[in-house]
Amino acid sequence: MPFTTTTHVRWPDVDQNGHMRTTAYLDAAEDNRMRYFASAGFPVTEFAARRIGPISHGDDIRYRAELRLLDTVVVELRLAGLASDGARFRLHNKIVKADGRTAATIVTTGGWLDLDARKLVAPADDLLAVLTGLDRTKDFTELPSPLARA
């Protein structure tokens, strides 16, 4: 089962056409991911204490159905890819309307940033276990580690 959160389209999430803005989809996905980490023992304070944080290298958004003001949505999270050392990951969010239709999918490729050295690092084993604890997508892929090139 994917990790899920429920939210709704807020007033500042809507563009001049009455649709949910692109950045609001990204915000919903990011919020869902951070809620997952917090629920698994990694709230923002833990990342700060360890001086490590998740960063995004890129997002691929695919729109399927419109969202409008006050629409309720469920945001799902699955693991779509991971390097063997955990230094790079790919997360798949699906935003689902109340009627069950997919409103959008967001695939984010990211990594872990050492906040002091300002470079990518592999996560500690307990954080890696949080990632591997996610339900995987059907097209899950093993990713190359960015550290192999360093």
Identify whether 131 is part of a domain.
yes
CATH label of the domain that carries residue 41: 3.10.129.10
Query: How many other β-carbons are positioned within 10 Å of the β-carbon of residue 40?
Result: 16
Identify whether 48 is part of a domain.
yes
Q: What is the pLDDT along the chain (150 residues), one digit of tens a residue?
A: 999 999 999 999 999 999 999 999 999 999 999 999 999 999 999 999 999 999 999 999 999 999 999 999 999 999 999 999 999 999 999 999 999 999 999 999 999 999 999 999 999 999 999 999 999 999 999 999 999 765
Identify whether 127 is part of a domain.
yes
Identify whether 74 is part of a domain.
yes
Identify whether 129 is part of a domain.
yes
**Structural tokens at position 69:** 């003001």
How many domains is the chain built from?
1
Identify whether 88 is part of a domain.
yes
Start-end of H helices in the chain: 22-39, 44-50, 125-132
What is the residue range of 88's domain?
Answer: 3-137
Identify whether 142 is part of a domain.
no
Q: Which pLDDT value is given to residue 150?
A: 54
Start-end of H helices in 40-147: 44-50, 125-132
